[in-house]
Structure 1
């Protein structure tokens, strides 16, 4: 999970060279950071091992060895469809794997946001992954975790296979102790699921399962289902068949064969793709496809350049840094111009509450179109940056100040079925827009949620009421429901504090949690969970960009939440 410590440590420099910028995500072996190589002035990905507190030294050494195994697995490969290893750095005795940063989307996010790929796109994925596996197998490496999440599609259309964290080199001893995973149950081969010997043929099945998801839009087996049940289905059940009847379906069926030696070879996969691929030098993916599928990783803050004196330009104007040379990952299409501060781009898989909030903001500022959504997702103002005027003195903007006088707003959280007792009042900063939705959270009663969204889209206040929550439920069931909507590695919660709100069944709680969407959209939510009237649970929450969490709590939540009261 993404911890507060990781947020605070995002300014560390590893080995005096790699500045950690932001958490991209978590793999099977640790935390993956977006970092900046201060020697070569380029963005990189840095994989840091993650040791649970109290782990015995022997197990810790084993985890470190797995980190080096991944490095050795990638280090012997030099292929355009495999993520490139740059360096192994050491800091305080721990190894850090420094790899190529691929700006763009994973295939998993692309499928979630856009559904099945067309034949040309699927063929491009099949050919690239098969080529990467050919190179790995020729080097004696079995990947063992081929799945859509490990297939990266760059903004310039390049397709790369990533995460060799559990790869096996036949020249090394296999690590078999507790805690070593064998891949994702929805994509692993039957022989792997049954505990048999793992060979290169296991990657063929996983490639077939990945291509199944590519043309169908979903995995061949339920990735969210019970792990044991999924493994039993993989081993003993019938092999799923694609509903798509095109040429890719035949390849999938020829790869997903339970007998390992009967599976189609990688060379044959690539031969079948030959007539389906796009024209040489072109990509079947557009820049819009990739940027909509997953938010870009925000660019690291560059070292401040030495001022450049230009005699033709007035000294009050901005000076430019020396030309750093070509970008390490130049896209095939012009990219949208970014502000000086990094801005994240929204993808379609954001939480529902943010989608509704974005809809309100886009309605109010429709002319902004996709730009408005981009600014909203990045926690930025919807107004465009004003250009600096040459020959005019540059006036520095004032420090951000807390909102002005809050206004009392009256709301109603009655349900559509007419459940009464939903009146409330709360102080809200001026100018915040409101909308109401009725929700059906998993394993909880129907709730009504009233949203208040700041004009710049950076902050969202929600008042949620669960009628008839008591006596059959507890607050912890609500918290479990919230956490279940996020991937395990994208949610971290603090220990709750007891509030004065109470009824006959339990006391209220103050609860804070952090979320990371696609490794980019980092938000912090503060909540008061309040049992009221012996039947209802009320939740007052404020969500802010994590980079502003201190200000968000002190200047907003601590002033808003205490003002909440029920009204007749």
Structure 2
């Protein structure tokens, strides 16, 4: 992704660009200063590359603007606040196809991915306390008809009260921390088909719900809850359920391999099982998830919250298998209700068909990857 902003540059006659905080496929984030309100801010810069056809560049600008508006709809303590958005047309010298800057709350925090890399795993009670804040953030987002679509440890900010160099143990710090869900960079407003082009699959492979691999751009609250389950699994185990260097292998595993049995989840095992049910209809909904996390955060067991018969699960937890440890830096809307009893048989039949379709999609993706490698 091209970078246009320079240190000291003023955007929209108001926001000063200071230090670069990070960058990725969805843009560059800068530390900035709001000269009007005299406060620090974070500024996310997304540059449309030069050479993109004018019509496509316009669609991209429109998409980024809508995404900023989707994030700005949220007002919650566990969601990074969006303050402003500035969209610039293509540069007169054709050095870019346009720029969109999103001005956000600057949060002094470490991301959960960095914490997991350093400490390998967190205790189940600590993960429950962290997860409870994330679940309430998702609940607020879904209530506003906003779907995140990229929940993962790298998009979870943990405001450690003692700082990164504190002598206080990490469990105590996380227990006292504000946890914030950030980077709604590929978020969508439910029911707005213009936000994501048909057939476009967005998100991080290891955290994509199996149904998204079948339906592509289709996403609902259940897919966000799957990603939350993968995130909490990574916090307890040190890695998500499925991961690796080859995204196509990961996709095949997500769609066709049972979830590895977590070894360190303790009281959260039932919760992870519920969130990582491969059938989105049987997957735990947000209310059940919050109730289970609340109990686990208080020292109880999530299995005592709305016990679910094993027969209703479309995919039981399987014994764990050896996987490579992740390297540093890896990577219509309606509330979902768990289907128990009536309708479960119909759901299972439908999900079997989806699993077959997913296997076909995975084979096609693998074939396309092989062809691409031969041509490149």
Report the TM-score, using the length of structure 2 for normalisation.
0.69
CA distance in 2, matches of 1:46, 1:245: 37
Q: Deviations over 1:243-277 (max 9, x none)?
A: 12511122111100110011112111211222343
CA change 1:174–1:28 in 2 (3 A) is: farther
CA distance in 2, matches of 1:123, 1:239: 20
Establish whether residue 30 from structure 1 lines up as the match of residue 30 from structure 2: no
Identify which of 107, 111, 122 aligns with 1:102: 107
Establish whether residue 238 from structure 1 lines up as the match of residue 258 from structure 2: yes
Counterparts of 1:297-308 in structure 2, within 5 Å, are none
CA shift for structure 1 position 12: 0.9
CA distance in 2, matches of 1:276, 1:178: 40
User: What residue number does 2:68 align with?
Assistant: 71
CA shift for structure 1 position 48: 1.2
Q: Secondary structure at the match of 1:183?
A: coil
CA distance in 2, matches of 1:151, 1:109: 10
Q: Is the 8 A contact 1:29 1:50 kept in 2?
A: no
Q: Which has the higher strand share?
A: 1
CA distance in 2, matches of 1:265, 1:127: 14
User: What residue number does 1:165 align with?
Assistant: 185
CA distance in 2, matches of 1:115, 1:95: 36
CA distance in 2, matches of 1:120, 1:176: 37
CA distance in 2, matches of 1:195, 1:27: 26
User: What residue number does 1:218 align with?
Assistant: 239
CA shift for structure 1 position 171: 3.2
Q: Secondary structure at the match of 1:219?
A: coil
Q: Secondary structure at the match of 1:206?
A: helix
CA distance in 2, matches of 1:234, 1:488: 17
Q: Is the 8 A contact 1:185 1:193 kept in 2?
A: no
Q: Is the 8 A contact 1:137 1:200 kept in 2?
A: yes
Counterparts of 1:470-509 in structure 2, within 5 Å, are none
CA change 1:15–1:179 in 2 (3 A) is: farther
Counterparts of 1:407-422 in structure 2, within 5 Å, are none
Gaps of 5+ in 1: 280-484, 490-568
User: What residue number does 1:270 align with?
Assistant: 290
CA distance in 2, matches of 1:148, 1:486: 12
Establish whether residue 54 from structure 1 lines up as the match of residue 59 from structure 2: no
Larger Rg: 1
**Higher RCO (C-alpha under 8 Å, 6+ residues apart):** 2
Gaps of 5+ in 2: 90-97, 162-176, 300-326, 332-376
User: What residue number does 1:195 align with?
Assistant: 215
CA shift for structure 1 position 96: 1.5
User: What residue number does 2:10 align with?
Assistant: 13
Q: Secondary structure at the match of 2:84?
A: strand
Counterparts of 1:313-328 in structure 2, within 5 Å, are none
CA shift for structure 1 position 31: 1.5
CA shift for structure 1 position 113: 0.9
Q: Deviations over 1:192-212 (max 9, x none)?
A: 122353221111111111110
CA distance in 1, matches of 2:143, 2:220: 13
User: What residue number does 1:438 align with?
Assistant: none
CA distance in 1, matches of 2:330, 2:116: 20
Report the TM-score, using the length of structure 1 for normalisation.
0.46
Q: Deviations over 1:136-184 (max 9, x none)?
A: 1111111111110111111342111111111121231244549954211
CA distance in 1, matches of 2:60, 2:44: 13
User: What residue number does 1:130 align with?
Assistant: 135
User: What residue number does 1:152 align with?
Assistant: 157
Counterparts of 1:133-532 in structure 2, within 5 Å, are 133-156=138-161, 157-177=177-197, 180-195=200-215, 197-222=218-243, 224-277=244-297
User: What residue number does 2:41 align with?
Assistant: 44
Q: Deviations over 1:469-506 (max 9, x none)?
A: xxxxxxxxxxxxxxxx98599xxxxxxxxxxxxxxxxx
CA distance in 2, matches of 1:124, 1:174: 36
Root-mean-square deviation (Å)? 2.5
CA distance in 2, matches of 1:94, 1:160: 26
User: What residue number does 2:360 align with?
Assistant: none
Q: Secondary structure at the match of 1:51?
A: strand
CA shift for structure 1 position 24: 1.6
Q: Secondary structure at the match of 2:20?
A: strand
Q: Secondary structure at the match of 1:153?
A: strand
Q: Is the 8 A contact 2:67 2:195 kept in 1?
A: no
Q: Secondary structure at the match of 1:23?
A: strand
CA change 1:181–1:276 in 2 (3 A) is: same
Q: Secondary structure at the match of 2:281?
A: helix
CA distance in 1, matches of 2:183, 2:56: 21
Q: Deviations over 1:106-158 (max 9, x none)?
A: 00011001111122320122111110111111111111111101111113421
CA change 1:2–1:118 in 2 (3 A) is: farther
